[in-house]
Amino acid sequence: MMHIIVMGLSHKTAPVEIREKLTFPESKLEESLQCLLKYDHISEGVILSTCNRTEIYAVSDDPDKGKEDLIKFLSQYHNLDPKKFRNHLYFRHSIDVIHHLFEVVTSLDSMVVGEAQILGQVKGAYAHAFEAHATSVIFNRLFRHAFKVGKRVRTETGIGESAVSVSYVAVELAKKIFEDLAGRTVMIIGAGEMSELTAKHLVANGVTSVLVSNRTYERAVELANRFHGKAVKFDEFPDYMVDTDIVISSTGAPHYIVKRETVAEVMRKRRFKPIFLIDIAVPRDIDPEVDKIYNVFLFDIDDLQSVVDANLAERAREAKKAELIIDREVEEFMAWLSSLEVVPTITVLREKAEAIREAETEKALNKLGELSEREKNIINALTGVIINKLLHEPIVRIKECSRRKDGYLYIESLRHLFDLEARTKVEGRRSRDEGRRTKGEGRGTKGEGRKGLHG
């Protein structure tokens, strides 16, 4: 039997000091996934690593042993004692994983509800896992279903209107420091997607001069040209900070690239005019000690939460609509997942075989003309025996295979070969319709129905 589990930590459960130690660089995701799949109780895996979360999704033959494998993997891969991070972890199992993933892709679990970047980040994580052959039947279906859910929520609700993102929150903080951004100069360190989004928001809010510095100079030139700005060589960016009002840093460096002594020298040359530093990188780019320097205002990714809180109220109504969509989609996916279990599969296979036997036997009896009841019973018994003998060996084998780590692959293959999917959908729809009718009959008044469902 297969189980879907997820282990993670996020901005809700762990400070940046912990999260930055447990990230997975995109360039090493394939290597990380191969390491993950070596554990005995893990058959599929997807690693999602962003500024605000690290999550490892897995298909396991045993949820408890799978959970321990995930902890070991995280500890061994990062060479970190589990005691230092275990209390910050959260775990989900079965239907709760599906619900959680759908909330993640729709941004309901994001620091900024409604931000658009997370869907692309999850798609990227799945793409890496797919290319690394770390996904199979379960996760290929689950993650593609999740992307459908993300699109539905964006289309059918207003959760993405007046787009709010981490980069937008950075702009809001800049406004609090300077009040007016007109005529200000911003330097973007790190020419990634987050940096580009931040630049767009800043320019839209009055910033007139954009400097871009990146380890790959050509990428800095490319991004700077989009904003009619100027590219700066990476080893020269401290010199340009002297004439910069706002610095947004978001690189993938494993160590501080903006150090206290550098900022101290910059401030002396600026005659201590205020400078606003926003570090949206994990691991952090800017030494937190710079915040102790006079007129230096430093904010890291966790500091953005205070601004995020102000945006939650306007998103709450649309989030409720999104939750209703998610609940329906979770129900649909669980119906498919349940169909992979061996007993329902055998039941549907027998029902299909029996329906074919009955139909074909009836045709044959009609062609044979007048037959005695004894003769009809013999023919019916004969066709029944043929069906039972034909199905006996596959059923025995599928039961044996279902106990294996990858047993669901055989079940899914059986369902595909005998085209059992359509039959399951019809039966599932019929069951859900009957369930809704039963719920409606017992609902009572409208007010009582609400109380019964939510009370």
Share of the chain above pLDDT 70, in %: 86
Least confident of 115-124, 213-222, 342-351: 342-351
- 62 has a pLDDT exceeding 80: yes
Q: Specify the DSSP class assigned to residue 227.
A: T
- Look at residue 424 in the predicted model and tell me its pLDDT: 47
- Look at residue 164 in the predicted model and tell me its pLDDT: 59
- 452 has a pLDDT exceeding 60: no
Least confident of 159-163, 348-352, 393-397: 159-163
- Look at residue 436 in the predicted model and tell me its pLDDT: 44
- 210 has a pLDDT exceeding 80: yes
Dihedral sign, Cα of residue 247, residue 248, residue 249, residue 251: negative
How far is residue 387 CA from its own chain's centroid?
Answer: 45
- 303 has a pLDDT exceeding 80: yes
- 433 has a pLDDT exceeding 70: no
Contact present, 159 and 322 (Cβ < 8 Å): yes
Domains of the chain: 3-162 (3.30.460.30), 166-306 (3.40.50.720), 340-433 (no CATH)
Alpha carbon distance 372, 378 (integer Å): 10
Q: Residue 401 catalytic?
A: no
Rounded to 5 degrees, what are φ and ψ at 303? Answer: -65, -25
- Look at residue 275 in the predicted model and tell me its pLDDT: 96
- 103 has a pLDDT exceeding 90: yes
Q: Specify the DSSP class assigned to residue 258.
A: B
Given 2, 7, 51, 132, the catalytic residue: 51
- Look at residue 302 in the predicted model and tell me its pLDDT: 83
β pairing state of 209-214 and 230-233: parallel
Beta-carbon count within 10 A of 268 CB: 11
Which residues, including other chains, have CB under 8 Å from residue 392's CB and lie 6 or more apart?
none
Least confident of 61-65, 85-89, 172-176, 370-374: 172-176
- Look at residue 407 in the predicted model and tell me its pLDDT: 64
Read off the pLDDT of residues 374-428 as tens digits, 9 standing for 90 and up.
988 999 899 989 988 988 888 888 777 766 656 667 777 877 888 886 554 444 4
Mean of pLDDT over the chain? 85
Token pair in block for residue 174: 């800049």
- 450 has a pLDDT exceeding 60: no
Least confident of 118-132, 350-364, 441-455: 441-455
| pTM, rounded to two decimals | 0.58
- Look at residue 236 in the predicted model and tell me its pLDDT: 96
